[in-house]
Amino acid sequence: MTASSAETRTVKTPDELKAWAADVAKKNKEDAPVVIRVSMGTCGIAAGTTPILEALKEQIKLQGKEGTVKITQTGCMGLCHSEPSVEVVDVEKGTSTFYGSLTAEQAPALIQAGTDLAPGVKVVDKIWYFPEEEENTNGAIQARVVLRNSGRIRPELIEDYIGTGGYSGLAKALTEMSSQDVIDTVTESGLRGRGGGGFPTGRKWAFAAAQNNEQKYVICNADEGDPGAFMDRAVLEGDPHAVLEAMAVAGYAVGANQGVIYIRAEYPLAIERLQIAIAQARECGFLGTNIFGSGFNFDIDIKYGAGAFVCGEETALIHSIEGKRGEPIFKPPFPAIEGLWKKPTIVNNVETYANVCAIMRKGAAWFKSIGTEKCPGTKVFALAGKIKNVGLVEVPMGTQLRDIIYKIGDGIKDGKAFKAVQTGGPSGGCITAAHLDSPIDYESLRALGSMMGSGGMIVMDEDDCMVNVAKYFLEFTLDESCGRCTPCRIGNKRLFEMLSDICHGKGTMETLIKLRTLSETIKDTALCGLGQTSPNPVLSTLREFRREYLEHVLNKTCSAGVCSSLIKFEINDKCVGCTMCARNCPANCITGEKKGKHVIDQNACIKCGVCYETCKFHAIDKK
Amino acid sequence: MGKSCSCIGCDGVLEAHPDAKKELEAYIDSLPIGDDIDANRGYLIQSLHKAQDVFGYLPESVQLFVANKLKIHLSEVYGVISFYSYFTDVPVGKYKINVCTGTACFVRGSMKILDELSRHLGIKEGETTEDKRFSLGGLRCVGACSLAPVVMVNDKVYGNVTPQMVQEILNDCE
Ligand SMILES: Cc1cc2nc3c(=O)[nH]c(=O)nc-3n(C[C@H](O)[C@H](O)[C@H](O)COP(=O)(O)O)c2cc1C
Ligand code: FES
């Protein structure tokens, strides 16, 4: 997919845009009766999509189907559990089939089948992906608003975006609405920030719009720091123009002429696609001067992060764009009053922007019809961990956790028991089985001691030690604390040490009391959101899994079998001497004769658990 | 790095790589650098990205070069480098082995993989072997959570890694 094959036009009026969209639709109908969409996001590529793409192309040639089967490379479809995956579309009927876990050997059958069901290839369950026409209907658990184009359009071709109604929201805003109308629409829609805080987007825009200043800025926060969340990346890789369009709408609403996308350097593919998209949008006149002949000028720059979680916090992010150390400062003043280069600035998350275009096109009332009264719309979650179906899911706000985990995720891997689901990343908490029926929205999650965060959702099973999980998140915050305020810099270090002690069997009841007191102190006194929320994983596990803490402290045991100082592997009498464990032991500390009982040298054992996992005879005890 | 004296920025790296220097210089010259120091500072991070791209790391001489070009003080440049984990002022190994320590990988056992790599290479996370062949590091979510635990060697992704696979991964680097 090269930029040279991209068709661009200069668009000056909404009518020209409509005409272009109609031409694209016509062309798509006439092009080829079968379209195969190959999911080429970072994850798909990592799972090995590239050789499959080549095999499919080769088969089209071999079977002489150049005129009837067209291949398009799209962004992420969210079907991580079944990568590499493709969607085969019957253009005339408008129906499609999703195939997953493909191998290059299946390419001939797939091309042969056309729109019929290809034999012997795994079909992905519909719960994961609805053909466009069945979408957002009753009975569907998932709803696609943010991910509506991701996996469907070719992100490097602006015409595909135009074909889905792209830039018509901007056209409408600029030619039919005043800035105030735009703000009113967004306010009325009830859209709340998807970056974690849930602040009403319309209200934020109104603050900035009310500032009397020649120069204002619109920033897109694409720092996506939660380790385990990747929905922003999916949008940027799969539908980059949606973000550009929404930023221009925001610019018009608040009176800003310059946008900045702050993106983490770890997302090279997303950066490349954004750069292509910006160049195309400029060429077509959707960015630049006098957009849609309205006299409104707007352009967008990309700035890169450099690996600092705290830079996702808006004031730190602004410092980073200014080329400084990304340290947060005390708010107020809020960025809407005094932000980038001390000018009024709005900072919004990628997913928030992706919603804005849909709202502009379909209206506030439509948006409010999805989700709950207080939280309209959808939320995208990155479902991962000990779940059968890992992937990106988008559900209406208010959906129950249980539906996500058991209906969409298909339950826990390997028949194990569910223990907890962690949301909100390092700022969030763990939710237990008792609360699986809670609806998902900002308030409910907070009431459970967790938070929405950016949408990471990590499922844990009986083999996860919650003390160790709390320690993991603390280690993360410790790593990422900018060091500016004492509670976060030193307090978190002490918390981490206490948790380490507990995991090593050195904790006492007093440690538990101190752990809680210090956690609460840090929460109350830290400077920015990072520090204020960093004790959440500790407090939430202390509350929900107190028994596990007590077991570590009083009995010096770890029933999940994770804390290596507290466990021991031993071979029992079921050992038949198959030598499997000895051969796989990375520390070479298992000895024994063939067909005779083996022994583990406890001094050399590194407690990696490989023997435990490889033994087919249940001959290894974990104590 | 064969530094023979203690003065600032004479580690010789810049002179030893004239092509890299030229590339960096051309990049910085293409930016709208002027006399407004605050505005110049806005280009610092991207200049450092470029510099690390072409030199592999950011030795003092390169830092000084960037500082002079943007008309800002070396201490500020160093302040930024030390803040952001992406930047490094020590050379890294030929094979950069990064274990994903994102949450999904963590719950699927990435710490064991990290321990195992560390044991094999005889270095800790964040270190480089003496022969400069391997660097070992952690990485936060590469977005391939379905393949957890994930190890990246330079640009190559290994998924569903087990402690037993560690030796194979290292063999692949030969
Ligand atoms: C420590 C910390 C990290 C954050 N990281 C992110 C992030 O990675 N992405 C994001 O969009 N917002 C992040 N935020 C929230 C931002 O500060 C800000 O509220 C958000 O970008 C506003 O956009 P929204 O209203 O559209 O959600 C973070 C906040 C804190 C305190
Ligand atoms: S947590 Fe490792 S790839 Fe996402």
Q: What is the number of the ligand closest to the CA of A355? A: 1
pLDDT tens digit sequence for B53-101: 999 999 999 999 999 999 999 999 999 999 998 899 988 899 999 999 8
Sequence length of chain A is 623
Q: Where are the beta strands (DSSP E) in A81-155?
A: 86-90, 95-99
Q: Do B142 and B102 meet the contact criterion of CB atoms below 8 Å apart? A: yes
Domain boundary among B62, B83, B104: B83
Tell me if A586 and B84 make a contact (CB, 8 A cut-off).
no
Among the partner-chain residues B101, B107, B112, the one whose CB lies closest to the CB of A385 is: B107
Q: How far apart are the first and last CA of chain B?
A: 25
Nearest CA to ligand 1 atom 12: A195
State whether B75 and B117 are in the same domain: no
Structural domains of chain B, count: 2
* Whether pLDDT at B154 is above 90: no
* Tokens standing for residue A360: 């502009």
* Tokens standing for residue A211: 């500032």
Residues with CB under 6 A from ligand 1: A 193-197, 199, 221, 223-225, 310, 312-314, 347-349, 352, 454, 528-530
Cα of B4 to nearest chain A Cα, Å: 31
Question: How many other C-beta atoms can be found within 10 angstroms of the C-beta atom of residue A176?
Answer: 9
State whether B38 and B71 are in the same domain: yes
Amino acid identity at A591:
T
pLDDT value of position B1: 46
* Whether pLDDT at A439 is above 50: yes
State whether B165 and B101 are in the same domain: yes
pLDDT value of position A609: 84
The highest-level CATH class for domain A32-124 is: alpha beta
Q: What is the DSSP letter of B51?
A: H
B37 in contact with A at a CB cutoff of 8 Å? no
In a domain, B21, yes or no: yes
In a domain, B1, yes or no: no
Q: Which residues have a Cβ under 8 Å from the Cβ of A195 and sit 6 or more positions away? A: A221, A312, A348, A349, A351, A352, A454
* Tokens standing for residue B90: 């020590």
Q: Which residue of B has its CA nearest to A340?
A: B42
The fold of A466-555 is de novo design (two linked rop proteins) (1.20.1440)
Helix (H) / strand (E) containing B97: strand B95-100
pLDDT tens digit sequence for A245-260: 999 999 999 999 999 9
pLDDT value of position A500: 95
Region A110-133 average pLDDT: 79
CATH code, B107: 3.40.30.10
pLDDT value of position A228: 80
pLDDT value of position A113: 87
Q: Which residue of A has its CA nearest to B80?
A: A325
Rounded-to-integer distance, Cα A302 and Cα A223, Å: 12
Q: Is A62 exposed, middle or buried (0-12, 13-18, 19+ CB in 10 A)?
A: exposed
The CATH code of the domain at A378-461 is 3.10.20.600
In a domain, B102, yes or no: yes
Return the percent helix, strand and coil in chain A, to nearest 5.
45, 15, 40
Cα of A119 to nearest chain B Cα, Å: 25
Atom of ligand 1 nearest to the CA of A352: 26
* Whether pLDDT at A127 is above 90: no
Chain center to CA of A515? 31
* Whether pLDDT at A564 is above 90: no
Q: At what angle do helices A240-254 and A201-209 cross, to 10 degrees?
A: 50
Question: Is the CB of residue B103 below 6 angstroms from any atom belonging to ligand 2?
Answer: yes
Average confidence score pLDDT of chain B: 89
Cα of B26 to nearest chain A Cα, Å: 19
State whether B71 and B118 are in the same domain: no
Region A168-175 average pLDDT: 96
In a domain, B4, yes or no: no
Give the residue from A536, A393, A574, A385 showing the smallest Cα distance to A462. A385
Rounded-to-integer distance, Cα A580 and Cα A595, Å: 11
* Whether pLDDT at A132 is above 70: no
Tell me if B146 and A47 make a contact (CB, 8 A cut-off).
yes
What's the B98 CA to ligand 2 centre distance in angstroms? 12
Q: Which residue, among A266, A450, A581, would best test binding to B if mutated, counting the most B CBs under 10 Å from its CB?
A: A266
State whether B77 and B27 are in the same domain: yes
- Cα four-point dihedral sign A29, A31, A35, A38: negative
Q: Do A342 and A215 meet the contact criterion of CB atoms below 8 Å apart? A: no
Q: Which residue of A has its CA nearest to B139?
A: A227
Q: What is the number of the ligand closest to the CA of A317? A: 1
Phi, psi of A401 (to 5 degrees): -55, -40
pLDDT value of position A3: 41
Q: Which residue, among A309, A325, A414, A541, would best test binding to B if mutated, counting the most B CBs under 10 Å from its CB?
A: A325
State whether B132 and B112 are in the same domain: yes
Q: What is the DSSP letter of B69?
A: H
The CATH code of the domain at A568-622 is 3.30.70.20
Q: Which residue of A has its CA nearest to B46?
A: A304
B106 in contact with A at a CB cutoff of 8 Å? yes
Domain positions in chain A are 32-124, 158-368, 378-461, 466-555, 568-622
Tell me if B146 and A43 make a contact (CB, 8 A cut-off).
yes
* Whether pLDDT at B47 is above 80: yes
pLDDT tens digit sequence for A587-600: 889 999 989 999 99
pTM: 0.91
State whether B69 and B99 are in the same domain: no
Q: Is A207 exposed, middle or buried (0-12, 13-18, 19+ CB in 10 A)?
A: middle
Q: Is A309 exposed, middle or buried (0-12, 13-18, 19+ CB in 10 A)?
A: buried
State whether B45 and B99 are in the same domain: no
Rounded-to-integer distance, Cα A538 and Cα A426, Å: 10
Q: Which residue of B has its CA nearest to A385?
A: B104
State whether B51 and B106 are in the same domain: no
Atom of ligand 1 nearest to the CA of A530: 1
Give the residue from A196, A200, A201 showing the smallest Cα distance to A450. A196
> Comparing B115 with A140, which gets the higher pLDDT?
B115
Rounded-to-integer distance, Cα A434 and Cα A574, Å: 38
pLDDT tens digit sequence for A359-418: 999 999 999 999 999 999 999 999 988 999 888 899 999 999 999 999 888 899 888 999
B131 in contact with A at a CB cutoff of 8 Å? no
pLDDT value of position A1: 40
The CATH code of the domain at A158-368 is 3.40.50.11540
Substitution candidate for ligand 1 out of A218, A349, A484 with most atoms within 8 A of CB: A349
ipTM for this prediction: 0.89
Rounded-to-integer distance, Cα A351 and Cα A267, Å: 16
* Tokens standing for residue A338: 């005094």
Q: List B residues 66-95 in contact with A (Cβ-Cβ < 8 A).
A: 79-80, 83-87
Tell me if B48 and A306 make a contact (CB, 8 A cut-off).
yes
What's the B81 CA to ligand 1 centre distance in angstroms? 23
Helix (H) / strand (E) containing A475: helix A466-480
Nearest CA to ligand 1 atom 22: A348
* Tokens standing for residue A197: 């805080």
Domain span including residue B19: 13-83
Size of interface A-B (CB pairs under 8 A): 141
* Whether pLDDT at B117 is above 80: yes
B141 in contact with A at a CB cutoff of 8 Å? yes
Cα angle: A496, vertex A501, A506; to 5 degrees: 165
State whether B112 and B56 are in the same domain: no
Share above pLDDT 70 across residues of chain A, in percent, rounded to a whole number: 97
In a domain, B2, yes or no: no
State whether B159 and B129 are in the same domain: yes
Residues of A in contact with B159 (CB under 8 A): 46-47
State whether B51 and B108 are in the same domain: no
In a domain, B88, yes or no: no
Rounded-to-integer distance, Cα A512 and Cα A542, Å: 9
Share above pLDDT 90 across residues of chain A, in percent, rounded to a whole number: 64
> Comparing A101 with A2, which gets the higher pLDDT?
A101
Give the residue from A53, A158, A155, A178 showing the smallest Cα distance to A106. A53
pLDDT value of position A170: 97
